[in-house]
A and B are shown apart, each in its own frame.
Chain A
Amino acid sequence: AQSVTQLGSHVSVSEGALVLLRCNYSSSVPPYLFWYVQYPNQGLQLLLKYTSAATLVKGINGFEAEFKKSETSFHLTKPSAHMSDAAEYFCAVTPSGNTPLVFGKGTRLSVIA
């Protein structure tokens, strides 16, 4: 069975600082991996995805993530945080298109001015 662990339910960074949100997964086969962002009382929006092409994936709003098979990780980064990045972020995994996504419990990002 697939599972996702997001380390840190709440991360706080200063505006302009590096953002690092951690995601580790378990999967019996090479996975498809995703990061989503959620603003209060809204649905989730796709930030980026890994689908077995390049291991460094670039997404929207300056975010990127690197797939590291040896570490079973897919951490999300952004070089410089903006106030508008404050939201909740979810990592998700699936082994195939026929299997529903499994989500982590989320990490709430706060950005301090």
Chain B
Amino acid sequence: DGGITQSPKYLFRKEGQNVTLSCEQNLNHDAMYWYRQDPGQGLRLIYYSQIVNDFQKGDIAEGYSVSREKKESFPLTVTSAQKNPTAFYLCATQNRGTYYGYTFGSGTRLTVV
């Protein structure tokens, strides 16, 4: 079945650590996105990539980094510079040839301990 796999589902980070969240897709979609979700804040865009080897900052990119070396993969690194990383992180893909809607992964919940 085609879909998006986010791993791990739960992740714990110590202060000062970098952690990487995985997002893999087999939908053959060109565009991929990372959103952060906090209670009452909706979804806020961190980074997005519309083609391989290219990505753009979203509204809250500070303290995060990404890479897009393969069409199928768009990992997100939460660096120690991100002061408040505890949140639910969602990866999404977009098939830009159709109706421009997104397909979402099931999310990763990151907690700082």
Binding site for B on A (CB under 8 A): 9, 32, 34, 36, 41-46, 49, 51, 90, 94, 96-98, 100-106
Q: Does residue B84 face the partner (Cβ distance < 8 Å to A)?
A: no
Are B107 and A46 closer than 8 Å at their CB atoms? no
Contacts A46-B101, A49-B99, A106-B42 given; does A98 touch B107 at CB 8 Å: no
User: B41 contacts which of A36, A42, A97, A105 (Cβ < 8 Å)?
Assistant: A105
> Helix, strand, loop or mixed for chain B's interface?
strand
The tally of residues in B whose CB lies under 8 Å from a CB in A reads: 27
* Complex: A96 Cα to B103 Cα, angstroms: 17
Contacts of A103 in B (CB 8 A): 35, 42-43
Are A43 and B100 closer than 8 Å at their CB atoms? no
* Complex: A9 Cα to B41 Cα, angstroms: 10
Which B-chain residue is minimally distant from A9 (CB atoms)? Answer: B40
